[in-house]
């Protein structure tokens, strides 16, 4: 998951705390060794232009610092693209709920 984030169509929510199970899961992955001091998640919607009239959307989750700084090339989770913004918003709410319940690692481990 090292591709660059499309900042032109990226809509993020406010950072919120990473809970213990998710933190442990993240620490097991070598690629997150340099972000061990991140304490929050940034979750947002990223749009990708499929053609001149169509966008597809996905949910992305990044480890971040309390102030919202994050490495855009180091996503913890990226969903598959969905066809509509409304579908993506629904998916974002579901993934955010998992993260707030300390269960984000469950979808990370099965991707």
Task: Tell me whether residue 78 is in a domain.
Answer: yes
The predicted-structure confidence for 30-78, as pLDDT tens digits, reads as follows 888 777 789 999 999 999 888 878 889 999 999 999 999 998 888 999 9
76 inside domain = yes
Residue 2 lies in a domain: no
Task: Examine the pLDDT at 2 and tell me if it is beyond 60.
Answer: no
Whether residue 105 has pLDDT greater than 90? no
Domain count for the chain: 1
Look up the pTM and report it. Answer: 0.87
Whether 72 is in a domain gets the answer yes
DSSP result, the chain: --SPP-GGGEEEPPPEEPPHHHHHHHHTSGGGGGGTT--EEEEEEEEEEEETTEEEEEEEEEEE-TTS-B-TT--SEEPPPBSSHHHHHHHHHHHHHHHHTT-HHHHHTT-
Residue 12 lies in a domain: yes
Residue 1 resides in a domain: no
Q: Which domain holds residue 81?
A: 7-108
**Position 60 in a domain:** yes
d(CA 91, CA 77): 13
């Amino acid at each position: 998951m090292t591709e660059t984030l499309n900042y032109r169509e990226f809509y993020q929510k406010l950072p919120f705390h990473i809970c213990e199970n998710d933190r442990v899961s993240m620490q097991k992955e070598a690629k997150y060794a340099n972000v061990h001091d991140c304490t929050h998640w940034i979750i947002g919607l990223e749009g990708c232009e499929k053609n001149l009239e169509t966008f597809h959307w996905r949910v992305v989750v990044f480890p971040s610092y309390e102030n919202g700084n994050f490495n855009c090339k180091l996503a913890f989770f990226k969903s598959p693209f969905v066809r509509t913004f409304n579908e993506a918003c629904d998916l974002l709410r579901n993934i955010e709920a998992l993260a707030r319940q300390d269960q984000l690692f469950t979808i990370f481990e099965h991707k």
